[in-house]
Amino acid sequence: MADITAPAQVSVPAPAAPDFSGWTCPAPLRDLPRIVMGHGGGGALSAELVEHVFAPAFAGPALSGLGDSAHLELGGARMAFSTDSFVVRPLFFPGGSIGDLAVNGTVNDIAMSGARAAYLSCGFILEEGVSVEVVARVAEAMGAAARTAGVEIATGDTKVVESGHGDGIYVNTAGIGLIPDGVDIRPQRAVPGDVVIVSGPIGQHGVAILSVREGLEFGVEIQSDCAALGGLVQTMLDVTRDVHVLRDPTRGGLAASLNEIAAAAGVGVVLQENRVPVPPEVANACAILGLDPMYVANEGKLVAFVPRGEAEAVLAAMRAHPLGAGAAVIGECVEDHPGMVVARTALGGTRVVDLPLGEQLPRIC
């Protein structure tokens, strides 16, 4: 290496005034002719795909809610029905596996309607060459998760695709559960005055996955929070049936869930940023990667909108449950700025917490 301490200078003419008025703009990329990863990110691109492609094609009254689960009436019973596909890589990660996610994800989608999942279906898409031992471990994890959640896997299907056409194992689950009488939980029910509660520290699942996927080490191992939330929801409903909204902030994180609720109900949401529980190891990992914990996925947390008068009792009941020990009031529902989520920063400023576009991208520096 040359022994110089400053880069070699080429001749530098006197600086011409830059033409700032010439700042021109790239063509807007309005029309994406193909699916990009962001279409699966749970943000604005995902919503556009549903809105413009799936909903018009499927149009039916049952679909109109577009919530985590559909609310159906069949033979006089009210049911929550939901499905989810799991394409996580790696298959096993600190705190869980694709099997745990496949059960808990669908159980939680149903729990967010106040229902207790009763039966699950399960579809496997296996890649040629994946070891049977790995498939068995995933199946065992699913069985164990189902027993913990008190749900029965009642039907299933298996397909195999050629080597190179899958990531080892993809799993789809669907589930169904009864909605108790007097319970009506959906995003549209958020009203000004509701208190916003989160069931515990956020961001653990996304950071756990990132740490193993990208081989990043943060000094301490961060475990996924993957868990079934049916029991916690039951505990809350034992306090009051008048829980207005429940949502499990998975893809897109807390920010996406709150934006969806604000938009669906036409209300504003105000957060006190320093009340949102973020574990130090998650905060550190996010600081290093340039991510915002509010947008990082959770798999064992819920956010609840409850009437102010019930908030204290609901919070106490949540904290008495093992999966709600870290529950905290993080904000409230307001009449101002309908459809928008606003955070008050620790310093006393405010900022809009927007719906993420697609994938959250690590910043360059």
Partner 1 sequence: MKYLEEFQDPALARRLLDQIHATVTRPWALMEVCGGQTHSIIRHGIDQLLPDEVELIHGPGCPVCVTPLEVIDKALEIASRPGVVFCSFGDMLRVPGTGRDLFQVRSEGGDVRVVYSPLDALRIAQENPRSEVVFFGIGFETTAPPNAMTVHQAKRLGVRNFSLLVSHVRVPPAIEAIMGSPDCRVDAFLAAGHVCSVMGTDEYPELADRFRVPIVVTGFEPLDILEGVRRSVAQLERGEHTVENAYARAVRPEGNPAAKAMLADIFEVTDRAWRGIGVIPGSGWRLAARYREFDAEHRFSVEGIDTKEPAECRSGEVLQGLLKPHQCEAFGTLCTPRTPLGATMVSSEGACAAYYLYRRLGGTQAPAPVEASPVG
Using the rule CB under 8 A, is 354 a contact of partner 1? yes
| Rounded-to-integer distance, Cα 330 and Cα 342, Å | 12
| Cβ at position 2, least distance to partner 1 in Å | 5
Q: Contacting partner 1 (CB under 8 A), which of 40, 192, 307, 339?
A: 339
Question: Between residues 171 and 341, which has the closer beta carbon with respect to partner 1?
Answer: 341
Using the rule CB under 8 A, is 15 a contact of partner 1? yes
Question: Between residues 44 and 134, which has the closer beta carbon with respect to partner 1?
Answer: 44
Question: Between residues 37 and 74, which has the closer beta carbon with respect to partner 1?
Answer: 37
Other CB atoms within a 10 A radius of the CB of residue 168 amount to: 18
Which part of the chain contacts partner 1 (CB under 8 A), choosing from 28-36, 120-128, 230-238, 304-312?
28-36
User: If we measure between CA atoms, which residue out of 207, 228, 220, 201 comes closest to residue 106?
Assistant: 228
Using the rule CB under 8 A, is 77 a contact of partner 1? no
Q: Contacting partner 1 (CB under 8 A), which of 139, 160, 212, 283?
A: 283
Rg (CA), the chain: 23
Q: Contacting partner 1 (CB under 8 A), which of 13, 56, 60, 322?
A: 13
Enumerate residues 6+ apart whose C-beta is below 8 A from 150: 116, 230, 231
Using CB under 8 A as the criterion, what x/- string covers residues 224-263 for binding partner 1?
A: -----------------------------------xx-xx
| Cβ at position 184, least distance to partner 1 in Å | 21
Which part of the chain contacts partner 1 (CB under 8 A), choosing from 157-165, 235-243, 323-331, 340-348?
340-348
- Measured in degrees and rounded to the nearest 5, phi and psi for residue 321 equal -95, 140
Which part of the chain contacts partner 1 (CB under 8 A), choosing from 71-79, 88-96, 199-207, 287-295?
287-295
Whether the bond between 90 and the residue before it is cis, its omega within 30 degrees of 0, is yes
Which part of the chain contacts partner 1 (CB under 8 A), choosing from 11-19, 125-133, 148-156, 234-242?
11-19
Q: Show contacts with partner 1 in window 198-217 (CB under 8 A).
A: 214, 216
Total site size for partner 1, rule CB under 8 A: 78
- Measured in degrees and rounded to the nearest 5, phi and psi for residue 59 equal -20, 120
Question: Terminal CA-to-CA distance of the chain, rounded, Å?
Answer: 26
User: If we measure between CA atoms, which residue out of 39, 123, 126, 41 comes closest to residue 85?
Assistant: 123
| Cβ at position 226, least distance to partner 1 in Å | 24
Residue with tokens 């989608």: 109
| Cβ at position 106, least distance to partner 1 in Å | 21
In the chain, where do the E strands start and end?
Answer: 70-74, 77-86, 92-93, 96-97, 116-127, 152-161, 169-178, 195-198, 245-247, 268-272, 303-306, 328-334, 341-344, 350-352
Question: Between residues 24 and 131, which has the closer beta carbon with respect to partner 1?
Answer: 24
Using DSSP's 3-state secondary structure scheme, residue 108 falls into helix
Which part of the chain contacts partner 1 (CB under 8 A), choosing from 22-30, 71-79, 171-179, 324-332?
22-30
